[in-house]
Amino acid sequence: MRAGAGTLTIDRLAAGYGRLQVVKGISLELGAGRALALLGPNGHGKTTLLRAITGLGPITSGTVELDGERIEKLTTPEIVERGLMHVPQGDMLFPRLTVNESLTLAGRLRRARGQRATNLSLVLDLFPRVAERRHQLVGTMSGGERQMLAIGMGIMANPSVLILDEPTLGLAPKVRHEILTRLLDVRQAGLSLLVADGDVDFLFGLADEWHVIELGRIVGSGTTENRPTHEQMMAMYVGASSTPSGGPDTTTEVSHV
């Protein structure tokens, strides 16, 4: 991992699928070593935004800069080689590989090769449960163990910025807490984090800043020191039940907390 680098600037990013515009002009600034949380109702564009940033989904307009370099026209492998790594939502691992093989595979990137041993010992220190299962097939591991492995594979790519999409999805509270503790250690090691998750307590425990995304726009932002009250959260989510793909865009008012 590379401490020092790891700034990400997203400027008026728009993204969608064909004629469906899902992300409608989002700007974000992630400083080196900082952690930024994205929250908001399901289906309002968090995954679409994160995928667009790493070149996994199409961008309609706007720019993305990683450590001062424009990356929005690069391919995903080129973006990963520059230090921006995406740990996707859901179980995207290879079930027939062992844990060891999976970590080795993730460490094969050009930028990661020289750091492979250092990163491997970091991952095994961070996630003892993964270390204990080094010879186990990934498909036989629990959901929490697979999520830890996915983060570990992200670290093996030697990133300066790690994007995590729903890292606690479907996990029990105890396992969520374990993942939170480990991600705080990852922050300590110098990585910048951009994280979307449905668990608000998890996000507030991890990040410096939060942004609520509703209907493809940021409708509320703040630092985790000025955490929104339950009522403020509810206010930001009001109207969010309308589907982003349906009818007219109703987000004309922006409510900042």
The residues that touch ligand ATP, with contacts defined as CB under 6 A, are 17, 20, 22, 42-48, 89, 244-245
Strand intervals (E) in the chain: 8-17, 20-30, 35-39, 59-66, 69-70, 84-87, 161-165, 192-196, 209-214, 217-223
Cβ neighbours, 10 Å, residue 248: 6
Torsion sign over Cα 178, 165, 75, 188: negative
What's the closest the beta carbon of residue 60 comes to ligand ATP, in angstroms?
13
Beta pairing partners, 24: 14
Q: Return the number of the residue (3 or 234) whose C-beta is nearest ligand ATP.
A: 234
Q: Return the number of the residue (82 or 176) whose C-beta is nearest ligand ATP.
A: 176
Helix (H) or strand (E) holding 234: helix 230-237
What's the closest the beta carbon of residue 64 comes to ligand ATP, in angstroms?
16
Q: Return the number of the residue (155 or 196) whose C-beta is nearest ligand ATP.
A: 196
What's the closest the beta carbon of residue 249 comes to ligand ATP, in angstroms?
13
Q: Return the number of the residue (42 or 229) whose C-beta is nearest ligand ATP.
A: 42
Closest CA to 40 of 187, 173, 165: 165
Length of the chain: 257
Q: Return the number of the residue (24 or 187) whose C-beta is nearest ligand ATP.
A: 24
The angle, 0 to 180 degrees and rounded to 10, between the axes of the packed helices 173-188 and 116-126 is 140
What's the closest the beta carbon of residue 95 comes to ligand ATP, in angstroms?
22
What's the closest the beta carbon of residue 141 comes to ligand ATP, in angstroms?
23
Closest CA to 152 of 171, 133, 174, 172: 133
Q: Return the number of the residue (44 or 211) whose C-beta is nearest ligand ATP.
A: 44
What's the closest the beta carbon of residue 168 comes to ligand ATP, in angstroms?
12
What's the closest the beta carbon of residue 163 comes to ligand ATP, in angstroms?
12
Burial 148-169 (b: 16+ CB within 10 A, else e): bbbbbbbbbbbbbbbbbbbbbe
Q: Return the number of the residue (57 or 107) whose C-beta is nearest ligand ATP.
A: 57
Cα–Cα distance, 227 to 183 (Å, whole number): 20
The angle, 0 to 180 degrees and rounded to 10, between the axes of the packed helices 143-156 and 99-106 is 30
